[in-house]
Amino acid sequence: EDQVTQSPEALRLQEGESSSLNCSYTVSGLRGLFWYRQDPGKGPEFLFTLYSAGEEKEKERLKATLTKKESFLHITAPKPEDSATYLCAVHGYNNNDMRFGAGTRLTVKP
């Protein structure tokens, strides 16, 4: 069964303090690994899709990377508006749906 584990559960950073969020996964054939951002009381907002090991994607202060076992979401010089829960999900060839991790709750203090 496809599984996703995210760490840390919560992360508090000072503004400008770069860090990384981890997503470890097991899947029987990866169709895609996804990163979403979710603000309280709202639906998740799509950030990235990664398809194969070695792939990287960037968007503003965020960069997502992928290996055969895990993905990292790197946040460079974060700002308070980057505070949110970041969700990782995988879609395997044996499933029609995505499997989500529990998320990392990021707080960036000014």
Partner 1 sequence: GAVVSQHPSWVICKSGTSVKIECRSLDFQATTMFWYRQFPKQSLMLMATSNEGSKATYEQGVEKDKFLINHASLTLSTLTVTSAHPEDSSFYICSARGLPNTEAFFGQGTRLTVV
Q: Does 14 bind partner 1 (CB under 8 A)?
A: no
Q: Does 41 bind partner 1 (CB under 8 A)?
A: yes
SS3 80: helix
Q: Does 43 bind partner 1 (CB under 8 A)?
A: yes
Angstrom distance (rounded) from CA 92 to CA 58:
23
Q: Does 25 bind partner 1 (CB under 8 A)?
A: no
Q: Does 98 bind partner 1 (CB under 8 A)?
A: yes
Q: Does 87 bind partner 1 (CB under 8 A)?
A: yes
CB 70 within 8 A of CB 5: no
Q: In a 10 Å sphere around its CB, with 0-12 CB exposed, 13-18 middle and 19+ buried, how is residue 51 labelled? A: exposed
Q: How far is the CB of 16 from partner 1 (least distance, A)?
A: 27
Nearer to partner 1 among residue 59 and residue 79 (C-beta)? 59
Angstrom distance (rounded) from CA 67 to CA 70:
5
Nearer to partner 1 among residue 51 and residue 68 (C-beta)? 51
Q: In a 10 Å sphere around its CB, with 0-12 CB exposed, 13-18 middle and 19+ buried, how is residue 66 labelled? A: buried
Binding residues (CB under 8 A) for partner 1: these are: 31-32, 34, 36, 41-46, 49, 51, 87, 91, 96-98, 100-103, 105
